[in-house]
Structure 1
Amino acid sequence: MKRFLTVDVVFPVLIFILYFYANESVASATAVQSSSSTSSSKSIARNFEKCHDQGIRKTLTFCQLTKSLQTDKPIDMEVFTAQDQQSKASNTFQGKLTLLGESTGGSFKFRGGIKAYDSPQKHHLPEFEFEFVQSGDSIIPVERGVIRSYDGKDAWEYILEPGKVWDEATDNGYSRAAIPFALQLTNQNCVHNGVLSFLFKDDGSISNVYYQISSETCLTYKADFWGSLNATYRPLKIASASLIKSQYEREVSNRMLTKPISELLNDYPDANINLRQFGRGISKKHMTLYGLVIRNIHYVSSCETRNGNYPFCDVLVLPSYSTAKSMFAGIALMRLEKQYPGVKNALISDYVDQCNNKEMWDNVTFEHTLDMATGNYSSKNIQVDESKTGLFFTAFTHKNKIFYACNKWPHKVEPGTQWNYHTTDTYLLTTAMNNFLKEKQGMEHDIYSQTIAAELWSALNLSPTAMISKRSYDSNAQAWGGYGLNLHRDDVAKVANFLNLDQGKINGQQMVEPEMLKQAMQRSEASPSGLPINTNSSTTYYKNGFWAFKANKYIDCKNKVWIPFMSGYGGINISLLPNGMTFYYFSDNNDFFGTWVHALGEANKISSLCTS
């Protein structure tokens, strides 16, 4: 017999439903952003018309975060900053933040690059479960730098950065957090920068987390990511909290003074500077940022995205790409040569067992390899060999990478006589230096962690992000050497000053072999040092991991003016000017020479680049 619901059944159920929704906590919000969201701004207003948000803030409001913000496109990045009667955070975050439904939630839009590189796995965030510590108005991740995918199977790796915490009058006793982060493709150097935001209380109550990525430094894969995910907050006592706070305070206090690049007009009123020349030649949609370093003042651009300015420009993550050939491999060999004179003449075959072909490697030294002059190559034409190294870049293990690097290129000429650009050479050198260091100092030592990060970067007060290199995905964990670093703009400025202004000294102490650095900077008596990048070139040379360009005709100098620079894939340049300044830019549309040469003229107006 069919049973009908009577009043005595329906009424208690109705009371329970009303009670549940009346007392639903923020922590139990369950709506998850669909990966195919099509909600319009009007539907958002309808969804929350009963929540009665009040105040200046119109997006990422209390109601939207505690229910589920659904949009059919990314929102302005300004919403990740204080909007409505900001005050000191009344709650303190210390514990573990976990996102839920990452593999299915959120929206994605491919924005350019190589469509064949796209895959559904790349459309979503990887699993997120990390600890954070609050210090004043800052929220600091416990783990800094690229967070390695140990098996290499995840599409993305996280880089977490410190963010901000504050109260807004309309957040009903909750505090608001905004945390900058980046996604980096596993086994690659591309970086996609974003921010996530949520509301929380001391007792572990938490809203949904809204995240958005609207910019990248990546030639081959451009995309927007955005959405709202459920989250949990587990308050914890973190043993290292005091140390994390003090280290972050030191990090911030040691940053170089920054000024908007427009301040050049006020600081140098008689120079007749044309600000448009800085960054000229790169459209806004492809420019990540740029800057000019004049001694201890860092003049900086904004960090534009497809949806307004990035609100955490100081910690926006920049990929090194091949600038690592200079600031990692080049500096590392200069450092070892200072510590162990003559090591630059050590043979690759003595320190890399896999390079056992005598014809190819018997007479190739560490410095030959740094100079891209091993004598082993297929084509003399620029970038032809490099364009055929896909198997090297896609290899995950050291075994596969080193086998490829040792055996790919046939022997053609004597070492030191012909330049040919090979990232494989830099990987060989980094492996050889690593093995040399272990022989001298012990198996626990590492060429990046010890020689670069501990001995140099720490003394220069570089960020924790710069302290970690990407590595092979195996027990060897071999640092790549030719690419795979991540930087803040402050790191770029400090490394540049170390090389250019301070001539390789820290607090007056010479840290790298001075003659090798002079050669790299084209300041030795034998300039131009190194080899031309092709037999017909007299304007571009390469020495000790650094490029150099003869620029006198572009700045109206009668004498020869060599501009040493570091260069990275996609459109990255760090130019170390002979007047002690540094101009740099990070972009991703393959814009190189035609861009930075315009900035030389403006720098020359401030202080002459024409050397005596």
Structure 2
Amino acid sequence: MRVALALATVIAGLAGQAWSGPLSSAILNGTKLDGPVPASDFMPGPEAKAAKFRVSGRLTVIPKAQPDGFRVITDTAPPARDTRRVWPRLAVDLVTDGERLIPVQHGPIAAGNPDWDWIVEPGLAWSEPADGDRVRAVLPVALEERNANCIHNGRLLVILGPDGTASKAAIQFDTDTCLYFRFDAWGLAAASYAPGQVKAAPALVNRDRAERAARLPAKPISDLAATFPGIDLAALARAAGPGAVWGVVASGTHFTAPCPTRSGDDPLCAERDLPSYSTAKSLVAAQALFRLEALRPGVIHETIAAHVPACAAAGGWGDVRLIDMLDMASGHYVSAAPEADEAAPATEAFFDAETAAQKIAFTCATPRKAAPGGTFVYHTADTFLLGVAMTDALRKAGLGRDLYDDLIRQIWASIGQSAALDTTRRTYDSAAQPFTGWGLVYHRDDIVRAAGFLGGGGRIAGQPYLDPKLLGEALQRTEPGGGLFGPAPYLRYRHGFWARDVGPLAGCDHPVWAPFLSGYGGISVVLFPNGVQFYAFNDVNHFDWAASVPEVSKIRSLCG
């Protein structure tokens, strides 16, 4: 009964969308996919039934030399030799829990491709009357740029037989969080299915069930206006930006807007992969240092030179503290103009470097221009270097070996985060240094639970996990308006978090500081001081969420 109800919910959710029927077996066994097709065509039809058998085994997909169709939308820096149309081979182990289709492999799946790693998320398994005794499997998939955080989202559909046969896989990408390279692509790929026992399947299923149970209660964004009369949803949509994945958390409920793609609304949006980009500066760099300070008081005042030998040898880092690095105030820069260093062509060498030693050497060589602690200059490289220093401090104190696994994943486990956050981007060497300032992948509920953890005081089992003083300063709860001046007079940056004075926007007669997380391309996660969250992941460099402020203040006054 639960399976039938779940499929009915999926089918009802597709009502009103363009739908030409599920992709037929004839199409999936043809020579090419004519596309793009509506996203809903990958999903169950109105006659869908529970899967005829339980999927358990390995799915292997071998794409063609190039997809059947490829349409560039944005490409700001096309390479001289473009290999990006070549998709890597994919091998993923799958198990079903009712209609739920769960992949064993989490995070980027490396396949030796120079451009892409696959990411596969939980999907659905069901049977269509026309397919006989076979089972359809649809999976949300993404291509994540290798050594980067750029993500292209889509879905994969294949028909599996009880005897281990498989149709070709239909794959389509039609949405991105990648400002500089956006495309639509579609095609058929050879597929094979090897039924078999999936190791640790019960644990995998239990983990997936627990994650879904931990999600916030969700309602469509239209219910926000019904729950809080007077809310202007159009104003919130403007604040989110065109094509955004966005939502609002109020009174413990997650109000979610539809997830647009260029092929219709995403029918599997709850599992869509969203890149962190620089929101990781708050959720990895800041939380790691706050945790280290809670474990070893005073570590924030230790220096980079004491923990990074390459910087000690370079000189100029003997008085630069770990907290200065988190504040973007190392005193090492080329230009103090907003974003000048971060966007400089020379900085590409840092992002392109694949080893920790290369990234460290780049950052340590940045010239010293000012005393640390006083001049805000935004450098992702500085946050990476902070991660290196924290790793050394962690090891010297005997508190662990890995910054992400030993300090951050405990947070995710405590709030039941998805398996997407089990991993982070790392350097491609024996150091496997976490990127620290970018490189996570979220689902939309992950980000609101992470924000809720911060807003709730950073506690695990009722006890402070993060240093309360640092967290209070970062969230503007102590010394409101504190921090270094950002690129506008109403902005501050403190301890890895941005803050904006929203008082004038809310009609208050005094400053009201709202902390927020920000990420490349148009990512904003706002923790309003009235307890409301607003988040948006867009792909058009839209960061101005000012239009959300009057609406959020209607839920609960921001003026106090």
Q: TM-score, normalised by structure 2?
A: 0.93
Residue type of the alignment partner of 1:602? E
1:428-486 Cα offsets, whole Å, 9 max, x none, are: 100111111112226x6200111001x21110111110121101111111101111111
Mapping 1:346-361, distance limit 5 Å = 346-357=302-313, 359-361=315-317
1:142-176 Cα offsets, whole Å, 9 max, x none, are: 11122245x6x531011110100011111122111
Question: How many Å apart are 1:109 and its aligned residue?
Answer: 1.3
1:527-574 Cα offsets, whole Å, 9 max, x none, are: 32211125xx53211100001111211110011101111110111101
In structure 2, the partner of 1:531 is 484
Residue type of the alignment partner of 1:533? G
Relative to structure 1, the CA distance from residue 557 to residue 464 in structure 2 (aligned partners, 3 Å threshold; closer, same or farther) is same
Contact 1:323/1:483 (8 A) holds in 2: yes
In structure 2, the partner of 1:338 is 294
1:240-280 Cα offsets, whole Å, 9 max, x none, are: 111111111111121111111110122123xx111001120
2:422 aligned with 1:467: yes
Residue type of the alignment partner of 1:579? N
In structure 2, the partner of 1:50 is none
Mapping 1:162-173, distance limit 5 Å = 162-173=122-133
- d(CA) in 2 for partners of 1:106, 1:99: 15
What is the aligned residue count? 540
Residue type of the alignment partner of 2:103? P
In structure 1, the partner of 2:62 is 100
In structure 2, the partner of 1:447 is 403
Mapping 1:168-179, distance limit 5 Å = 168-179=128-139
Residue type of the alignment partner of 1:424? A
SS at match of 2:288: helix
- d(CA) in 1 for partners of 2:205, 2:439: 27
2:383 aligned with 1:414: no
- d(CA) in 2 for partners of 1:357, 1:120: 39
Residue type of the alignment partner of 2:484? L
Of 306, 309, 312, 2:268 maps to 312
Of 226, 236, 246, 1:278 maps to 236
In structure 1, the partner of 2:10 is none
In structure 2, the partner of 1:561 is 512
Question: How many Å apart are 1:118 and its aligned residue?
Answer: 8.0
Q: TM-score, normalised by structure 1?
A: 0.86
Question: How many Å apart are 1:491 and its aligned residue?
Answer: 0.7
2:204 aligned with 1:253: no
Residue type of the alignment partner of 1:403? A
Of 152, 158, 165, 2:118 maps to 158
In structure 1, the partner of 2:29 is 66
2:424 aligned with 1:479: no
In structure 1, the partner of 2:547 is 598
SS at match of 2:525: strand
Contact 2:63/2:88 (8 A) holds in 1: no
Of 428, 431, 435, 2:388 maps to 431
SS at match of 1:499: helix
Question: How many Å apart are 1:59 and its aligned residue?
Answer: 4.6
Relative to structure 1, the CA distance from residue 281 to residue 549 in structure 2 (aligned partners, 3 Å threshold; closer, same or farther) is closer
- d(CA) in 1 for partners of 2:63, 2:558: 55
- d(CA) in 2 for partners of 1:306, 1:278: 21
- d(CA) in 2 for partners of 1:101, 1:499: 42
Question: How many Å apart are 1:75 and its aligned residue?
Answer: 0.4
Relative to structure 1, the CA distance from residue 109 to residue 118 in structure 2 (aligned partners, 3 Å threshold; closer, same or farther) is farther
- d(CA) in 2 for partners of 1:333, 1:268: 38
Question: How many Å apart are 1:68 and its aligned residue?
Answer: 4.0
Question: How many Å apart are 1:282 and its aligned residue?
Answer: 6.1
Residue type of the alignment partner of 2:171? Y
In structure 2, the partner of 1:367 is 323
Contact 2:491/2:501 (8 A) holds in 1: yes
2:553 aligned with 1:610: no
Contact 2:168/2:188 (8 A) holds in 1: yes
Residue type of the alignment partner of 1:166? W
Contact 1:103/1:127 (8 A) holds in 2: no
Mapping 1:134-213, distance limit 5 Å = 134-148=96-110, 154-213=114-173
Contact 1:292/1:299 (8 A) holds in 2: yes
Contact 2:32/2:68 (8 A) holds in 1: no
Contact 1:68/1:208 (8 A) holds in 2: no
Question: How many Å apart are 1:66 and its aligned residue?
Answer: 3.1
In structure 1, the partner of 2:494 is 543
SS at match of 2:278: helix
Of 423, 434, 448, 1:493 maps to 448
Contact 1:279/1:585 (8 A) holds in 2: no
Residue type of the alignment partner of 1:543? R
Identical-pair percentage: 35
2:333 aligned with 1:384: no
2:546 aligned with 1:588: no
SS at match of 2:238: coil
- d(CA) in 2 for partners of 1:282, 1:371: 27
Contact 1:565/1:575 (8 A) holds in 2: yes
Question: How many Å apart are 1:115 and its aligned residue?
Answer: 4.6
Residue type of the alignment partner of 2:360? I
2:462 aligned with 1:511: no
SS at match of 1:197: strand
Contact 1:292/1:581 (8 A) holds in 2: yes
- d(CA) in 1 for partners of 2:420, 2:130: 35
In structure 2, the partner of 1:14 is none
Question: How many Å apart are 1:387 and its aligned residue?
Answer: 1.2
- d(CA) in 2 for partners of 1:288, 1:436: 39
Residue type of the alignment partner of 2:70? F
1:61-112 Cα offsets, whole Å, 9 max, x none, are: 12222334531x3000001211141111012211111113443443211111
In structure 1, the partner of 2:92 is 130
SS at match of 2:414: coil
SS at match of 2:207: helix
Higher Rg of the two aligned structures: 1
Question: How many Å apart are 1:600 and its aligned residue?
Answer: 1.0
Relative to structure 1, the CA distance from residue 70 to residue 80 in structure 2 (aligned partners, 3 Å threshold; closer, same or farther) is closer
Question: How many Å apart are 1:281 and its aligned residue?
Answer: 5.6
SS at match of 2:537: strand
SS at match of 1:215: strand
Contact 1:92/1:201 (8 A) holds in 2: no
- d(CA) in 1 for partners of 2:352, 2:141: 25
- d(CA) in 2 for partners of 1:96, 1:279: 41
1:555-605 Cα offsets, whole Å, 9 max, x none, are: 100111011111101111011100011101001111112xx1101110100
Question: How many Å apart are 1:131 and its aligned residue?
Answer: 1.2
Could you say what the CA RMSD is over the residues aligned between the two structures, in angstroms?
Answer: 1.7
Could you tell me which runs of 5 or more consecutive residues in structure 2 were left unpaired when the two chains were aligned. 1-18
